[in-house]
């Protein structure tokens, strides 16, 4: 019962961050700002959703898989964000 | 059907309309990818996890990448830069409405035999030596259909290859991308092999595994990694390997099991896994061939 309530709370938090990320994507002025909103807020939201699911996981292995998925999503979105950002910067930054 | 399903259906319809009426090819492609991902979710809600996986991997993933690639090439082509206005969305919309009407009519005439078919499959599952009903249907009960499907795929790839492929610059080396791809690709290959292996007992199979594998190879290609392995994948032999394996095993069934496409008792599991492994390699190579890669 307590765990269910905790999961619900975490899911609500996840939704708040996803909404913030989406509003950022729609409202922020340029591409770099939008990447910032997407990669930060959405990953945090995904983290909260993963936490909510881990609490409900049936086994340690299932919980581990959810953590692995979250980590993979983090790396993928960080890399994708970096690649999009590189396209926006016209010249190579000084070393 | 609850509120979530109703919302999902409405969003799917809205996305489909938005996709058809998109101003640019790029927007349309992105909406199509979103549509594919939500459609996969709809398949999950219907309990068809196998279809959902295939939709997400092939419908949204590979097809999405193909569309985005085509949209980008069109934007850079003389025809794309000269066309000031997008073509009218009415003809495709009307065509789709007509198709939807035909489908709805066809649906209304189908006799409800789904329950009987499910019962028949689960009754025969014991004798098929395959634990997962979807795999049993695809490679034991209806192996003939799957064999023809693979042949059709090969013909489609041949037709696609008749079109001249765009010549592209080789990708620029990016240390950050190379580092991430360097350990992302092995994980993706592992997932593909797992999906293939899982197909014998639960959700998974050659098509889903092939889509993930093709994605991994594309990732490596776009980051300029392992060019030698990439060249190996473009060999025509890899594309026909699956069909040839399927035909050879199917024909040898005539001698070992008394029927073409039959499997000798006790060998079904191993042979099906072997065919699926060969199919995975060939389907992945065929999906890659659709990208028409040619380095400058």
- The 3-class secondary structure across B118-161, one letter per residue, is HHHHHHHHHHHCCCCHHHHHHHHHCHHHHHHHHHHHHHHHHHHH
Q: How confident is residue B295, by pLDDT bands cut at 50, 70 and 90? A: low
- Per-residue pLDDT tens over the stretch B4-38: 999 999 999 999 999 988 888 889 999 999 999 99
Query: Mean pLDDT score of chain A, rounded to an integer?
Result: 88
For chain A, say whether B172 makes contact (Cβ under 8 Å).
no
Interface touch B184/A76, C-beta < 8 Å: yes
**pLDDT of A95 strictly over 80:** no
The SS3 call for residue B295 is strand
In this predicted structure, what is the pLDDT of residue B126? Answer: 76
- Answer yes or no: are the C-beta atoms of B252 and B200 closer than 8 Å: no
B70-97 core/surface letters (b: 16 or more CB in 10 A; e: else): bbeeeeeeeeeeeeeeeeeeeeeeeeee
Percent of chain B with pLDDT over 90: 35
d(CA B278, CA B242): 4
Could you tell me the sign of the dihedral formed by the alpha carbons of A36, A39, A44, A46, in that order? positive
Ranking A29-33, A73-77, B279-283 by mean pLDDT, the lowest is A29-33
For chain B, say whether A72 makes contact (Cβ under 8 Å).
yes
- Pick the closest to residue B220 from B286, B289, B173 (CA basis): B173
For chain B, say whether A71 makes contact (Cβ under 8 Å).
no
In this predicted structure, what is the pLDDT of residue B222? Answer: 81
Interface touch B180/A86, C-beta < 8 Å: no
**pLDDT of B187 strictly over 50:** yes
Number of H helices, E strands in chain B: 14, 0
In this predicted structure, what is the pLDDT of residue A8? Answer: 93
Domain boundaries, chain B: 1-110, 131-296
For chain A, say whether B174 makes contact (Cβ under 8 Å).
yes
Q: How confident is residue B296, by pLDDT bands cut at 50, 70 and 90? A: very low
In this predicted structure, what is the pLDDT of residue B138? Answer: 84
In this predicted structure, what is the pLDDT of residue A90? Answer: 67
Of B176, B184, B187, nearest to A82 by CB-CB distance is B176
Ranking A80-94, B186-200, B217-231 by mean pLDDT, the lowest is A80-94
Q: How confident is residue B173, by pLDDT bands cut at 50, 70 and 90? A: confident
Domain boundaries, chain A: 2-88
Query: Mean pLDDT score of chain B, rounded to an integer?
Result: 86
Q: Determine the residue among B61, B64, B173, B180 to mutate to test chain A binding: the one whose Cβ has the most chain A Cβ atoms within 10 Å.
A: B180
Interface touch B180/A75, C-beta < 8 Å: yes
Q: How confident is residue A91, by pLDDT bands cut at 50, 70 and 90? A: low
Q: What is the mean pLDDT of residues B65-80?
A: 82
Ranking A43-57, B100-114, B143-157, B231-245 by mean pLDDT, the lowest is B100-114
0.85 surpassed by complex ipTM: no
Measured in angstroms, the CA of A44 and the nearest CA of chain B are apart by 21
- Answer yes or no: are the C-beta atoms of A55 and A3 closer than 8 Å: yes
């Amino acid at each position: 019962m307590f765990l269910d309530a905790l999961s619900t709370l975490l899911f609500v938090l996840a939704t708040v961050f996803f909404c913030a990320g989406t509003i950022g994507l729609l409202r922020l002025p340029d591409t770099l700002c939008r990447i910032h909103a997407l990669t930060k807020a959405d990953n945090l939201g995904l983290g909260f959703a993963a936490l909510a699911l881990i609490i409900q996981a049936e086994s340690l292995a299932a919980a581990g898989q959810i953590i692995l998925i979250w980590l993979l999503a983090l790396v993928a979105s960080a890399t994708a964000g970096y690649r999009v950002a590189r396209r926006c910067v016209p010249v190579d930054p000084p070393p | 059907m609850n509120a979530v399903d109703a919302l999902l259906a409405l969003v799917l319809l809205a996305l489909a309309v938005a996709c058809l009426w998109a101003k640019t090819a790029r927007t349309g492609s992105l909406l199509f990818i979103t549509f594919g991902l939500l459609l996969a979710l709809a398949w999950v809600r219907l309990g068809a996890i196998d279809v959902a996986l295939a939709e997400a991997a092939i419908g949204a993933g590979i097809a999405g990448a193909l569309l985005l690639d085509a949209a980008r090439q069109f934007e850079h082509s003389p025809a794309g830069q000269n066309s000031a206005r997008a073509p009218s969305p009415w003809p495709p919309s009307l065509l789709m409405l007509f198709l939807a009407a035909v489908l709805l009519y066809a649906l209304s005439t189908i006799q409800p035999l789904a329950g009987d078919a499910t019962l028949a499959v689960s009754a025969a599952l014991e004798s098929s030596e395959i634990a997962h009903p979807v795999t049993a249907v695809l490679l034991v009960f209806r192996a003939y259909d799957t064999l023809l499907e693979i042949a059709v795929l090969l013909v489609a790839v041949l037709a696609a290859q008749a079109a001249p492929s765009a010549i592209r610059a080789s990708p620029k080396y990016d240390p950050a991308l190379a580092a991430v791809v360097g350990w992302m690709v092995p994980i993706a290959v592992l997932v593909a092999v797992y999906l293939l292996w899982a197909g014998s007992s639960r959700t998974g199979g050659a098509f889903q595994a092939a889509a993930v594998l093709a994605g991994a190879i594309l990732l490596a290609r776009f980051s300029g990694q392992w060019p030698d392995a990439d060249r190996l994948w473009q060999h025509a032999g890899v594309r026909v390997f699956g069909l040839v394996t399927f035909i050879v095993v199917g024909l040898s069934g005539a001698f070992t099991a008394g029927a073409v496409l039959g499997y000798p008792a006790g060998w079904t599991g191993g042979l099906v896994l072997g065919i699926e492994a060969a199919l995975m390699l060939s389907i992945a190579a065929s999906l890659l061939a659709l990208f028409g890669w040619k380095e400058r």
